[in-house]
Chains A and B, each alone.
Chain A
Amino acid sequence: MSVAERVRAYRDSDFAIIARRTLRNLLSERITRFAFGVLLVVLILGVVGPMIAPYPYNEQQTTASGELMRYEPPSLEHPLGTNDRGEDVLSRLLIGARTTLITGLLAGGLMMTVGLSVGMTAGYVGGKTESLLMRLVDFMYGIPFIPFAIVLITFFGAGFYTTIAILGLVLWRFIARVIRSQVLQIKQRPYIMAARASGASTPWIMRKHILPNIANMAGLFFAMGVGLAILEQAGLSFIGVTDPFTPTWGIMIRNANQAGRVADAWWWSFPPGIMIALTVLSLYLLGRGYEGGGDDEVVV
């Protein structure tokens, strides 16, 4: 098959058609268009940010006379000023885009994976398995996240990726709940019965029918999960149990707060705060997607 043909074949595949349709739906509203726009910008920043950063993110800036330039307010040279160590805030913000994004995406992905597996298994298999899994979810809900995350971090160390893993491994609970109820609904649909009656195996049904039908919802919850992960990571950073050498936005706020300069060095704390808020808001708005996207389940 030539490339063109392959592209065309792909374009005509059910998957592509559905994806296009979903995208079109999402883009049809002003709010979600805005959210998309913001996310696109963040994504681009995440990819090229480190390249366009004007200074190395951890280089202490000094004046010509060798004096440390700390707490410099914004200037042409340093559009977002400098921080307590005299590092260029803009550069850190740009690097932070990537690390924050990685945190969000990986943790969100992990949440999705676990939540989806648990939710789907519970929903589809039912019976004892279901009650067992749902009790597990209840149990997870019973855990106060921040303190528990600290506990886990002391188990596994406060590495950048460990934190991501911990976020993902605890926060999947809300996804599991929603997915399960969704699967419970879907599995009652006659088309599932039809497939079963035609001899389709459980894995087949899960893969071909259930998964695609919850894909939209899963995608939206993935978006919310990413947002949640970014928020919670910021919270953990604030407490000071994440790796502070990887400048995520959360770490930037934490550092500003630790230096007690949130308000007076506003150029240091507000940009990451605003970026977090914008990103998370966009993800939420996207996650809300179409009407009544199961908001009521998202109590975390």
Chain B
Amino acid sequence: MTPPNDRTNGGAGLNDDIGEAKRLELYRLQVVIRESEQRAFDLFLQNLVKGTSHLSLGQEAVAAGFAGAMKKGDLSFCTYRGHAHTLARGVSVEKVLGELMQKDNGLMRGKGGSMHLTSEEHGVMGSYAIIGAHLPIACGAAWRAQYRGDKDVSVCFFGDGTTNIGAFHEALNFAAVWKLPVVFVCENNLYMEYTPIKDVIPIPQPAADRASAYGLERILIDGNDADVVYRTAQKAFARARAGEGPSLIECLTYRHSGHSRADPAKYRPEGELEEWKKRDPVKIYRERLKQFGVKEDAIAEIDASVRKEVDDATEACKAAPPPPLDIISTDVYADGGWAWRN
């Protein structure tokens, strides 16, 4: 496990600039993701999740830390591995699980599927399943903010493997030249699908070691510590809102599960998962809360309420009907329909 070269320390020095309310929020978000993803996996084993799914178990701190620092109006652009970021922006567990189960209560009523979670009202401007495609799209949303003088930031999440596709390069250069208020977040979980990222790059860090190619600062952080992530996000957002341009942040993390539902992740070297589980972000954060004097009770209460939310959501999804077939032909075009002819 590469020791992350932190820019910002975690909670070690008992630096309480974050404050208890925000810390409880960051904790809650991580637990919501953890429980929902774990549930998604269980439902998959019961054959109730259809299509594919890509879990963020082990990567909760990145989603929580960024979402925790985002304001209303800030926009998230996610990948197929987007459940975590979608939940972190406040979308209900039911709507997410409903989409995974391809039910009518799903976020897009089953039309999009797990890889395309979108909730415009929460600023989740889509989840994209073609590697790299959303980086330029996030630039465009940021361009609109710049053009209009809106102060919102576009935040674009992607994986380590995504740094090798052309669109990554085009977006980074474009954002830097136009000084766009966009923050690029690389979640380096060490793997692409089944191949380690280190096998396909000639440098140690896929994103951080490329920042200079775009005139950007090298930022490599511990992605398993939500406080570190949160502080880094705040700085990048402030920079963006101040008109100083984009940031590229590489978060070191690890996925506890396979790449997608079908992957048992046998390619991992022995002991690697166990090593990383010692640095489980939820565990780290629970310790952090205690360090800052939060009572076990308060923590247990959050755990219990999240568990209940996920249980209730599960039941609601199980009970929900499948989508009606008449929506197949809606929303191809803006008139609501699908007519390509008169």
Indicate, yes or no, whether A interacts with B.
no
- Chain B residues packing against A (C-beta within 8 Å): none
